[in-house]
């Protein structure tokens, strides 16, 4: 069964019930509100199994015009993002950050920010992983990866920098930040 309802002449909700039609307690609905804000919801009357699956034959493209993509939950240890590959070959799934304009030395290519509220409920970045272009010239491409943490005043400071060296196949690593930084290596000396 399908229902479309809303204000007279302004339909704002589309609702579809369980396939087979033997229950009106399990359904999904799409609501359109002010400014075109649209919500898709699933309802499982007996529990929390009202999953939503999208299975295109091709790519699934999300292209927000000006906004972000937000995944929210108030449940402990959720949301969780799973990249799952059931292929039997040796190639694993990928998380790709790609900047598609002509690269320039020092361009940021992608970052992962670890944010949380401080003791006064201010949102702060406590850690960051940043991938950059170190050298953009064709056939001389070099990369840089920096792991940073907030250091005493919420200012991010690099603690580990992995970057292309000054010779073919050389990679340089910088550990710590400043002459007073400590580097602890566990194990036998």
Tell me the pLDDT of the chain (189 aa) as tens digits. 667 776 655 668 888 888 776 677 888 889 888 888 888 888 888 777 788 888 888 988 888 888 888 899 999 999 999 999 999 999 999 999 999 989 999 999 999 999 999 999 999 999 999 999 999 999 999 999 999 999 999 999 999 999 999 999 999 999 999 899 988 888 876
Give CA–CA dist 136/106, Å, rounded: 8
* pLDDT, position 2: 67
* pLDDT, position 43: 87
Q: Which of 56, 55, 54, 3 is nearest to 27 (CA)?
A: 3
* pLDDT, position 21: 61
Tell me how crowded residue 103 is: count the other CB atoms within 10 A of its CB. Answer: 16
pTM for the predicted model, two decimal places: 0.78
User: Which residue is it, tokens 């993509």?
Assistant: 69
Give CA–CA dist 102/78, Å, rounded: 37
* pLDDT, position 8: 52
* pLDDT, position 160: 97
* pLDDT, position 41: 87
């Amino acid at each position: 069964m399908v229902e479309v309802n809303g204000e007279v002449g302004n339909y704002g909700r589309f609702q579809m019930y369980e396939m087979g039609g033997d229950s009106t307690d399990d359904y999904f609905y799409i609501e359109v509100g002010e400014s075109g804000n649209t919500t898709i919801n699933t309802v499982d009357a007996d529990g929390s199994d009202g999953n939503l699956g999208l299975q295109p034959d091709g790519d699934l493209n999300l292209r927000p015009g000006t906004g972000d993509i937000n995944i929210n939950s108030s449940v402990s240890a959720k949301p969780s993002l799973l990249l799952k590959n059931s292929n039997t070959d040796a190639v694993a799934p990928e998380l790709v950050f790609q900047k598609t304009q002509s690269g320039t030395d020092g361009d940021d290519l992608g970052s992962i920010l670890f944010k949380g509220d401080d003791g006064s409920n201010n949102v702060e970045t406590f850690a960051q992983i940043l991938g950059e272009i170190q050298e953009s010239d064709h056939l001389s491409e070099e990369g840089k990866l920096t792991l940073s943490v907030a250091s005493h005043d919420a200012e991010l400071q690099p603690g580990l920098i992995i970057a292309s060296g000054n010779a073919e196949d050389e990679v340089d690593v910088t550990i710590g930040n400043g002459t007073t930084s400590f580097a602890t290596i566990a194990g036998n000396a």
